[in-house]
Structure 1
């Protein structure tokens, strides 16, 4: 969890390091690289991956390259983070390492008082959104329970299917495998919902003994 101390401004005493990203291999990184270089970055790491992709090797390499006093620079916030919470997490981690963060498009800089204030607001907003989601989810679950609605995954077999399986069970020519195939379920599911099959499968002459079983 990000704390107030995590968002204190970091003193910029070291190197500017850039990170750029485009979503597909067909897109061009030249504009981002040029802007980051003009901003003073001595090295720029780049990924050609969707922002939804959690495995961004060049971002990982960039974060590993940074040292205390350095500043990470991006063209815009969406080039770095997948969500507001992701952004807060990354910037908080940088702060704990005494690394600054700067976004050119949004003019955010955690080495300044203004940047510190903005990230205070971002962190508070992210926490507020998280609490709203949790509260809304809990209220939705409570309302569903009050209506008698079943929660979670639907059962593999409903009451009608179980009754049909039992009727088939009484027919000598039917086996466990044939009944399961007919109902579109696995043998394990059939045994679970029609437990008398287990008892019957051990009895000689039982009508639902699976002749294919070894």
Structure 2
């Protein structure tokens, strides 16, 4: 069975664009929800897991529909594959049933874990150094450095969004916007690298 899954983050957002894209490729069942991707525990995603059976295919408009955090997305994909379910993402042209698609997700997993480990290390070292120099971490920073610090704290997994806002002075809306922009750039970068490697191997 081909199961389509669509998601937006808030009730004010519409699903029309995703639904139009999914309708073009066709599906047997549609699961949709309006809930933030920052939380992995979602009614729609739970329904998806309860619905799928080995051999089924999940179709999504974009890989980001599965979640906002790269590690959460990879975890979801891995759990589904363990159940014998394949995933097709239209925007990224990814299909986990193909060798190329499998390689892409494996590469994303390695990069995400490496980045997480390095970020945690940098954040801890930075906080220790700042405290040693008597820097007040609650003082807002400006510009790119403020955004950079906020993203590092978020990636460390040790701070809540409220803590990050308090420490860096960045707004919640700005933080979520920067996270989405970074994730899109990361996925595009990985895809371009994979396509280039495939071209080099075939030439």
TM-score class, shorter-chain normalisation, is 0.5 to 0.7
Rounded to whole Å, the distance in 1 between the matches of 2:11 and 2:129 is 46
The structure with the larger Rg is 1
Alignment check: 8 A CA contact 2:130 2:137 kept: no
1:145 Cα offset (Å)? 5.7
Rounded to whole Å, the distance in 2 between the matches of 1:145 and 1:22 is 40
| TM-score, structure 2 as length reference | 0.61
Instruction: Report SS of the residue matched to 1:69.
Output: coil
Instruction: Report SS of the residue matched to 2:88.
Output: strand
Rounded to whole Å, the distance in 2 between the matches of 1:63 and 1:22 is 18
- Indicate which of 81, 86, 89 corresponds to 1:100: 86
| TM-score, structure 1 as length reference | 0.58
- Indicate which of 104, 128, 134 corresponds to 1:118: 104
- Indicate which of 48, 52, 55 corresponds to 1:69: 55
Matched residue count = 138
Larger fraction in helix: 2
Rounded to whole Å, the distance in 2 between the matches of 1:135 and 1:34 is 43
Alignment check: 8 A CA contact 1:36 1:44 kept: no
Alignment check: 8 A CA contact 2:40 2:67 kept: no
Alignment check: 8 A CA contact 1:20 1:45 kept: yes
Any gaps of 5 or more consecutive residues in structure 2?
A: 139-203
Alignment check: 8 A CA contact 1:17 1:44 kept: yes
Alignment check: 8 A CA contact 2:7 2:35 kept: yes
Q: After TM superposition, which residue ranges in structure 1, 4 or more long, deviate above 3 angstroms? A: 144-149
CA RMSD of aligned residues (A): 2.3
Rounded to whole Å, the distance in 2 between the matches of 1:105 and 1:148 is 47
Alignment check: 8 A CA contact 2:39 2:67 kept: no
Any gaps of 5 or more consecutive residues in structure 1?
A: 1-14, 154-214
Alignment check: 8 A CA contact 2:38 2:69 kept: no
- Indicate which of 115, 137, 142 corresponds to 1:129: 115
**104 and 141 in structure 1: CA distance in 2 versus 1, 3 angstrom threshold:** same
1:35 Cα offset (Å)? 2.3
The equivalent residue for 1:82 is 68
Instruction: Report SS of the residue matched to 1:86.
Output: helix
- Indicate which of 37, 41, 57 corresponds to 2:43: 57
Structure having greater relative contact order (Cα 8 Å, sep ≥ 6): 1
Rounded to whole Å, the distance in 2 between the matches of 1:143 and 1:30 is 49
Alignment check: 8 A CA contact 2:3 2:58 kept: yes
